[in-house]
Structure 1
Amino acid sequence: MNQVKWPLLICAILAAVSIMGIGIAISEKSITGIIGAILAVVIVMGIGFKTKKKMRENGEL
């Protein structure tokens, strides 16, 4: 039976929220918000890929 991989799910949710943040920052015409949201997406996605690689190496996937 497939089990939920909570760290990956949390990273995916955070990445989606960060992408929504980009749209909100654009609508607010906030350059700092746009840059912050883009950085958040990059960081969260990086953490997600790193976590997935670590889980794959440990045989958890």
Structure 2
Amino acid sequence: MVGETMNWMKVCFLCLAVFATLCVASLGVAVAERSILLAVLCFAGLYGTFAASKKLRAKLQTH
């Protein structure tokens, strides 16, 4: 692990994790603002990030 660099797969996982965190934070804002549309968009974003992460994980396991 010492001196290991970030490859493109790890960068993708990092970006997905940041996006998922922003979706969860936005979900809290949606609840506070009582916005159903924003909450639906946040759930869709979370679903998309988890689905993309699952596909990347499967691709990583096959290689």
Query: Is the TM value for this pair above 0.5?
Result: yes
TM-score, normalisation: structure 2 = 0.81
Aligned to 2:42: 37
1:51 to 39, 51, 56: 56
- Note the residue ranges of structure 2 that are not aligned, 5 or more in a row: none
What displacement does 1:57 show?
A: 1.2
Identity %: 21
TM-score, normalisation: structure 1 = 0.83
CA RMSD of aligned residues (A): 1.2
- Note the residue ranges of structure 1 that are not aligned, 5 or more in a row: none
